Amino acid sequence: MIGAAGADDVLPGGPVSAPLTVLALVCSLKPSPARSSAELMARQVLDELATHGVTGDVVRVVDHDVKPGVELDMGEGDAWPGIRERLIAADIVLIATPTWMGQQSSVCQRVLERLDAELSETDDAGRLQTFGKVGIAAVVGNEDGAHHISAVLFQGMNDVGFTIPAQGVTYWNGEAMHATDYQDLDETPEATASTTATMAANAAHLARLLAAENYPASS
């Protein structure tokens, strides 16, 4: 998906910046082609980012054999190295997860565990390879948990080098003990749509600033 360049594409006193990219890691427990509320919200985030000139892709993690572990490559058949290659190439990384028992999905937890390996990966300037990348989150569920889950995701992503923008999460939680899925709503609630738009604008702005000037080299 490609969005037209907007005001955010121009740096103060400078020309239009290089295009930005986003990778959405959807942590649904449902393999494709099953419908997924987490993927729907992730694609809505990408649509909003496209209005700021950010292009992106979605990976439904459960469709790939991501092995358990905390290494870059857990051996034969491990799909994480290929996903990681796309992650390292992106300026913005979105983790989208459903809520189960008030917690992020087990697939989401595995993604966080695999990201732990980034603590040992540095560039030529001694910075973590995730420095300069923006991390954002999307959470869906029909029970409370969005604040707890976003706190877990923000701590984990920031710990391994991602920068979190202001209001870096969008979410929807239905009322307690009901069975409505986000994807079955007649329309996106205004509060969620507005939050998604704000998150996308802030993430694109921050990613553009970091792309122009990354964190200082490690001393």
Q: Which residues pair with 141 in a beta bridge?
A: 173
pTM: 0.90
Q: What confidence category does residue 155 fall into, taking pLDDT thresholds of 50, 70 and 90?
A: very high
Give 3's pLDDT tier (boundaries 50, 70, 90).
Answer: very low
Task: Give residue 13's pLDDT.
Answer: 39
Q: What is the pLDDT of residues 116-135, one digit of tens each?
A: 999 999 999 999 999 999 99
Overall residue count recorded for the chain in this entry? 219
Give the C-alpha separation, 109 to 99, whole Å: 12
Residues above pLDDT 70, as percent of the chain? 92
Band the pLDDT of 10: cuts 50, 70, 90: very low
| pLDDT value, residue 88 | 97
Task: Please check whether residue 167 is in contact with residue 196, taking contact to mean a CB–CB distance below 8 angstroms.
Answer: no
Calpha distance 56→51 (Å, rounded): 12
Residue 1 has pLDDT above 70, yes or no: no
Query: For residue 219, is pLDDT > 70?
Result: no
Give the per-residue pLDDT at 218.
77
Beta partners for residue 22, in sequence order: 56, 92
Residue 56, SS3 per DSSP = strand
Using one digit for the tens of pLDDT, what is the confidence trace for 179-201?
889 999 999 999 999 999 999 99
- With CA atoms as reference, report the closest residue to 168 among 96, 115, 112: 96
Mean pLDDT of 167-177: 91
Phi, psi dihedrals of residue 118, rounded to the nearest 5°: -65, -20
Q: pLDDT for 67-100, tens place per residue?
A: 999 999 999 999 999 999 999 999 999 999 999 9
Q: Is the pLDDT of residue 158 over 90?
A: yes
